[in-house]
Every structure is written in structure tokens, then in C-alpha cells.
Structure 1
Amino acid sequence: MTADREIQDEELMGIAQDPEQALRLHRSLRTIANAASLDPALRDMARSVLSGHVDVKDAFQDPRYTEAVFQRMHEIRRAADDQTYAERQQSKAQFTEWDAKQQAELDRERAERDAPTHGSGHGSGRGERPTQR
């Protein structure tokens, strides 16, 4: 991403119900922003939210973005309907492997986020400058 600034998880709390959901939403936005295979409108939306130029609630209500999301969901559904039983089984196995990797990354990010910072006793653990001594 080329933005000078990236929002923090806390800035997603207007739509997320808790810090865990905000963390997952933030990661999803990063994934979308960097996925060359996705519709440019989706990537643009994610980048705009991550840079703080567009509020996440506004992005989710913008017809350009919702149309791109629904189109992608339709494509995924159509591809799933066209899979054979063997392909579905292979996809499930691949998903299980991918999900385990994602869970490990989330655990690492949670540990970084929840690690105490010098002097404050709390903080995101990401993107913050070290406390000066």
C-alpha cells in the first residue's frame, strides 16, 4: 500500500463489535487491498479505508463497493456449484491448511497487540513508535 498512514484496529470499532473483530477486519482489508486478482473497486475501497480517507461504514454503504462485493460473491458461488465432489474435498483440505496458517498469524498479531509497551501498560503493539527512555 502506498498510503502514508494506515488506520489502527481501534478505528474500526465503529463497525466491529470487539477488538478481535476489528483485528480480523483490518487483516481482511489489507488482504483485499493487495489482492491483484480482485476487482479494482474492491481494492480501491480497502485502500481508502486503510488510509483513513473513507470511513468503513461509508465504504460498506457505497453502491460501487457493494456491487463489487456482490459480484465477487456470485463468482465464488458459481465456482463452488461447478466443483466436482473430489474438487470440493481438495478445496476443504486446502482451506483447513490455509485456516491453520491464518490462525497462527492472528495469534502472533494478538500477542504483539496485547504485549505491554514501555511506560503505558497498553497499546496496539503495531505501528507505534518505541517509548523514549
Structure 2
Amino acid sequence: MPDGREVDQAALLDVAKDEDRARSLLRALRTLGTGPDPKLREMARGVLRGDLTAEQAFTDPEYTAALFSGADKVRRAGERRSDAEAREAREAGERFGEWQQARRTEEEREDQGTAQPDTAPGTDPGQQPAGPWRHSGPGGVGGPGALGGPRPAGPFGHR
């Protein structure tokens, strides 16, 4: 915000009901506050400044109409997807779910002190495991900085 004031996520708990949703709502408001729709920018900036409560914003007819208009655009774009695009999105979602489960299992093992290496037998232990979005087929993309590619180690080593 121009003057630097911004509400914290605790101010959003009346609408969000829990900390995770409040954090998500705060991120969404920040995104809307810089987005292309002037009505949604006005609403988001008002809530972020504290000039407007989230409840007031979400029950105001003008702001509600702007929110639903944006949601309708997203719905229509989804309907225009080809069958191949829809299948790719479903498969990516499935891979992501499998990856999340593998990470949870790995973290549970680490918490119990029985961590096993991420590599399968016969693979290079120096190679990073593929993430859920990495395309590993011929001509696939990846590499440092690429989506799903290996990341350089941070100050605390590889995760």
C-alpha cells in the first residue's frame, strides 16, 4: 500500500475462520490489489489498508459482481480447453498428488530418524529426484531454474 500500512491475517479471521485460510486470503487480496480489474483492485486495497473489512467487501453488491465476473471468465476458459489439455491437467494433478504423498512419507521417515535415500536402485545418487511437474521424456525441459528442475542448494543444503 502507498503508505505502507497493511492489515495482518488476524484481521481476516472473521471471514476466513482459520489461520491457513486467512493467510491464503491475504495473498489473494495482494494479488487482486495489483490485478487488471479496477473494481477488484479498489476492494482489495481497501481491505488491505483496513478501510473496509473483508466481510463488508464480500457482501458489497459491486464488489461481489466483480468477483463473480472474474470467476465466470475462469470457468469459460476452462470450458474452452481441449480434451487433450483437460487430460494433461488431470494427469499433472495426479502426479502432483503422488509427489506430495511421497514427500509426506519421506518427511515422516525423517521425523522418525529412519530416512531412506530418495533414489531408486540403479539410479545416480547425485541426481535430484524429479518433481511432479518435470517432463522427463525425450526433449524434456529441466535444469537449474526451470520449472521442476533441480534447484541449487540453499544456505541449509538441499531439502
One fold, TM greater than 0.5?
yes
Task: Structure 2 unaligned segments of length 5 or more: list them.
Answer: 100-159
Q: Which runs of 4+ in 1 moved over 6 A?
A: none
Are 1:24 and 2:24 matched, yes or no?
A: yes
Q: Deviations over 1:48-89 (max 9, x none)?
A: 100101111000011111001111111111111111012224
Are 1:7 and 2:7 matched, yes or no?
A: yes
Distance of aligned partners of 1:2 and 1:88 in 2 relative to their CA distance in 1, 3 Å threshold: farther
C-alpha displacement of 1:91:
4.6
**1:52 is matched with which residue?**
50
More displaced, 50-59 or 79-88?
Answer: 79-88
Distance of aligned partners of 1:91 and 1:41 in 2 relative to their CA distance in 1, 3 Å threshold: farther
Matched positions, count: 95
Between 1 and 2, higher relative CO (CA 8 Å, sep ≥ 6) is seen in 1
Provide the C-alpha distance between the structure 2 equivalents of 1:88 and 1:50, rounded to a whole number of angstroms: 35
Task: Structure 1 unaligned segments of length 5 or more: list them.
Answer: 101-133
**1:69 is matched with which residue?**
67
- Matched to 2:72, the amino acid is H
Structure 1 or 2, whichever has the larger Rg, is 2
Give identity over the alignment, percent.
38
